[in-house]
Amino acid sequence: MSAILPPSERLWWKHPLDRLEATWIIIAFIWCMIMFFMMVFWHVYGKQNLATETYKTNPAKFMAQTQAFVDKWTVRTETEQKIPVVAPPEGSDIYLIARLWSWWPILELEKGKTYKLHLTAMDYNHGFSLQPVNMNIQVVPGYEHVIKVTPTESGTFSIVCNEYCGIGHHEMVSRLYVK
Ligand code: CUA
């Protein structure tokens, strides 16, 4: 009998298990368990997988919230596109929009203070990646990701898009200031 022919006995599960086969099944099962518990482990001990809350939203609603935030706390504009730099007070809700191919606005935060970051994409999937701390959040259109952030060091950080989003993907970069 070979593997391409139907088994002569239909009740194949009653056949004795070959030792080699059993060994591989046990190895595969143990490996599955390790991989499964690593997900939980990295969520708790890893520094990159964040516990975010996610809510449904839509571009018009999120844009209105972000515009109100920008109107209230803008301190200056930067770059050729005159992107507003927004310096919100401690504890406030802060907004960041990802779209083809920019991040809007630029945030200026203070070290040791906590903010509630709201993040969405206006069009397609984008990837929020804060460098060099390597903090990554998948940004999905139609959903608002809410993350509590407390900057622990001051400086200028880069925000890059790490989800391929078309011809201008490589230009989808921004910055984040921490005072
Ligand atoms: Cu946005 Cu790549």
Q: Is the peptide bond before 132 cis (omega within 30 degrees of 0)?
A: yes
| Token pair for 74 | 């803008």
Give the distance (Å) from ligand 1 centre to CA of residue 40: 28
Q: Are 96 and 89 in contact (CB under 8 A)?
A: no
As for how many domains the chain has, the answer is 1
Atom of ligand 1 nearest to the CA of 162: 2
Q: What pLDDT does residue 79 have?
A: 85
Give the distance (Å) from ligand 1 centre to CA of residue 48: 19
Q: What pLDDT does residue 124 have?
A: 95
Does the residue 152 lie in any domain? yes
> pLDDT tier at 165 (50, 70, 90 boundaries)?
very high
Q: What pLDDT does residue 1 have?
A: 52
Does the residue 70 lie in any domain? yes
pLDDT at 44 exceeding the cut of 90: no
Give the distance (Å) from ligand 1 centre to CA of residue 159: 11
CATH number at residue 91: 2.60.40.420
Does the residue 72 lie in any domain? yes
- Binding pocket residue ranges, ligand 1, CB within 6 Å: 101, 126, 161, 163-165, 169, 172
Query: How large is the average pLDDT for residues 59-80?
Result: 92
Give the distance (Å) from ligand 1 centre to CA of residue 106: 16
Query: How large is the average pLDDT for residues 64-78?
Result: 93
Does the residue 29 lie in any domain? no
Q: Are 117 and 94 in contact (CB under 8 A)?
A: yes
Domain extent at residue 148: 53-178
Please give the mean pLDDT across all residues of the chain. Answer: 91
Output 166 or 1, whichever has higher pLDDT.
Answer: 166
Q: What pLDDT does residue 120 have?
A: 96
pLDDT at 84 exceeding the cut of 70: yes
DSSP 59-115: HHHHHHHHHHHHHHHEEEEETTTTEEEE-PPTT-EEEEEEETTEEESEEEE-TT--E
Give the distance (Å) from ligand 1 centre to CA of residue 31: 34
Q: Mind listing the pLDDT tens digit for each residue in 86-131?
A: 999 999 999 999 999 999 999 999 999 999 999 999 999 999 999 9
* Distance separating alpha carbons of residues 177 and 38, to the nearest angstrom: 33
Atom of ligand 1 nearest to the CA of 172: 1
Does the residue 143 lie in any domain? yes
Does the residue 88 lie in any domain? yes
CA distances 107 to 8, 23, 93, 115, Å, are 70, 55, 12, 11
Atom of ligand 1 nearest to the CA of 121: 1
Question: Which residue, judged by its Cα, is nearest atom 1 of ligand 1?
Answer: 126
